[in-house]
Structure 1
Amino acid sequence: MTLTATKPTTQVETLAKLYLEGKPAEISDEAIAQLSDWLMEEFQQLPLNLQFSDYMRYADAQEMFDDIERGQLWVSADSYDSTLYPNPIYGFIFQGIHDYDHYLSDTDFSLEGEIATYNFTAKRVPSLEIQKILYSEIVLRSAAYLYLGHAAPPKIVFP
């Protein structure tokens, strides 16, 4: 008998596979409306000028923090999913809120940083259903990105 060493599964891999192998969740119209309302309320409180870009991506969290301290934040069109929302602007708003929460929680773009940012954001949402959506969007999708080295096709999964 020959034994072969197996590489231990990392947290990134485990969470990425939950996302990549998960079936898209069915989300009620009521939950989407509640999420959209919450996003708009949060957006109205942002003390930033969000800038849309087709290509701008921050190299690291500090570069983004520097822009935020100048009162602006670039949001890249390829950073968010607009298929969930009734209007693509909500995906843009979500990404802006998420990135600002990185700043407020002083977290980077590592998996640990994404989990901490999710926890920071989840405390403010109006329901468990919205927390689950955000967990998929923030933690699981980020893990898939880190695992693959590029963005995975957008979807919401409830593992």
Structure 2
Amino acid sequence: MTITSEHATAAQVQALARLYFETNPAQISGETIVELCDWLMSEFQSLPLNLEFSDYERYSNETEMFADIEQEHLWVSADSYDSSIYPNPIYGFIFQALHDYDHYLTDSDFSLKGEITSYNAIAKRAPSLEIQKILYSEIVLRSAAYLDQGQAPSPKIVFP
């Protein structure tokens, strides 16, 4: 049997999802959480979009989202950023908006490859390795778990 990129991608999704599901939540210091929140807020201040919170609006694909972004608008769904790491839900809202905007800037879809591309863009701007690890868990590992299961997994930050 010849392994195709489709098989390799499916195997990658499963392996990364397994890391997410089988790893215990990480212990993150208060200093790192403060650093993360300060960095998210500074990134947010340069975001050129009108953000709107919604309990119901969710983009089906990147084409819909990119069309809104081109109009300087972005819906941010409440179920996209439910994470206990943030001391205030606004930081999860900001994180999701930044992540979605990175999809737009990198012209990347919601596949594993697209999530990795989006992660690479934001990781280059992250102020520390600890923040990069949090972003990897939130973007790559959690997305792989979603792709593997077909539904959003329980949120957690893991450092496999």
The aligned counterpart of 1:99 is: 100
Q: Identity of paired residues, percent?
A: 71
Matches within 5 A, 1:10-89: 10-89=11-90
Deviation at 1:151, TM superposition (A): 0.3
| Distance in 2 (alpha carbons) for counterparts of 1:115 and 1:79 | 17
* Cα contact 2:61–2:109 (8 A) shared by 1: yes
| Helix, strand or coil at the partner of 1:10 | helix
Normalising by the residue count of structure 2, what TM-score does the alignment of the two structures yield?
0.93
* Cα contact 1:31–1:129 (8 A) shared by 2: yes
In structure 1, give the amino acid aligned to 2:100. D
| Distance in 1 (alpha carbons) for counterparts of 2:51 and 2:107 | 19
Deviation at 1:82, TM superposition (A): 3.5
| Helix, strand or coil at the partner of 1:45 | coil
Deviation at 1:86, TM superposition (A): 1.1
Q: Could you list the runs of 5+ residues in structure 2 that have no partner in the other structure?
A: 1-6
* Cα contact 2:83–2:156 (8 A) shared by 1: no
CA RMSD of aligned residues (A): 1.2
**Bigger CA radius of gyration:** 1
| Distance in 2 (alpha carbons) for counterparts of 1:73 and 1:147 | 26
| Helix, strand or coil at the partner of 1:157 | coil
The aligned counterpart of 2:109 is: 108
| Distance in 1 (alpha carbons) for counterparts of 2:15 and 2:83 | 25
Deviation at 1:70, TM superposition (A): 0.6
| Helix, strand or coil at the partner of 2:53 | strand
| Distance in 1 (alpha carbons) for counterparts of 2:88 and 2:125 | 22
| Distance in 2 (alpha carbons) for counterparts of 1:120 and 1:71 | 20
Report how many aligned residue pairs link the two structures. Answer: 153
Deviation at 1:150, TM superposition (A): 0.1
In structure 1, give the amino acid aligned to 2:133. K
Segments ≥4 residues shifted beyond 3 Å: none
In structure 1, give the amino acid aligned to 2:53. F
Deviation at 1:83, TM superposition (A): 1.3
Deviation readout 1:28-67 (Å, 9 max, x if unpaired): 0000000000000000000001110001110100100000
In structure 1, give the amino acid aligned to 2:148. Y
The aligned counterpart of 2:4 is: none
In structure 2, give the amino acid aligned to 1:142. S
Deviation readout 1:66-100 (Å, 9 max, x if unpaired): 00001100000001124111111000000000000
Normalising by the residue count of structure 1, what TM-score does the alignment of the two structures yield?
0.94
